[in-house]
């Protein structure tokens, strides 16, 4: 019976991790849709770099994107985040 609380904790942790991953995927999808709408389809390497961003970075990108006038601005922003 002592395993029951541990099992419950594991379930709760997995649920929380799933929720965080779902939020991240939703933010990625929205940002990529916005980028594709404004600039057309971007290179797979840029999509991968966006996919590697944290939720906080994705939120910041969502705001910064409003000031971008080209894909070069996106690339510069991603380089800045990596350093």
Listed in sequence order, the residues at least 6 apart from 68 whose beta carbon sits closer than 8 Å to its beta carbon are: 38, 74, 77
Per-residue DSSP letters for 31-62?
Answer: HHHHHHHHH-SPPHHHHHHHHTS-HHHHHHHH
Please tell me the predicted confidence (pLDDT) of residue 15. Answer: 77
Give me the mean pLDDT over the 11-37 stretch. Answer: 88
Please tell me the predicted confidence (pLDDT) of residue 67. Answer: 96
Listed in sequence order, the residues at least 6 apart from 31 whose beta carbon sits closer than 8 Å to its beta carbon are: 50, 58, 61, 62, 65
Please tell me the predicted confidence (pLDDT) of residue 51. Answer: 94
Eight-state DSSP code of residue 2: T
pTM, two decimals, is 0.76
């Amino acid at each position: 019976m002592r395993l029951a609380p541990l099992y419950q904790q594991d379930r709760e942790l997995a649920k929380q991790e799933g929720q965080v991953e779902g939020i991240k995927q939703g933010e990625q999808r929205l940002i990529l849709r916005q980028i594709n709408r404004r600039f057309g389809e971007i290179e797979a390497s840029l999509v991968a770099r966006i996919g590697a961003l944290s939720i906080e970075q994705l939120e910041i990108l969502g705001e910064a994107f409003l000031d971008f006038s080209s894909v070069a601005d996106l690339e510069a922003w991603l380089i800045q985040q990596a350093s």
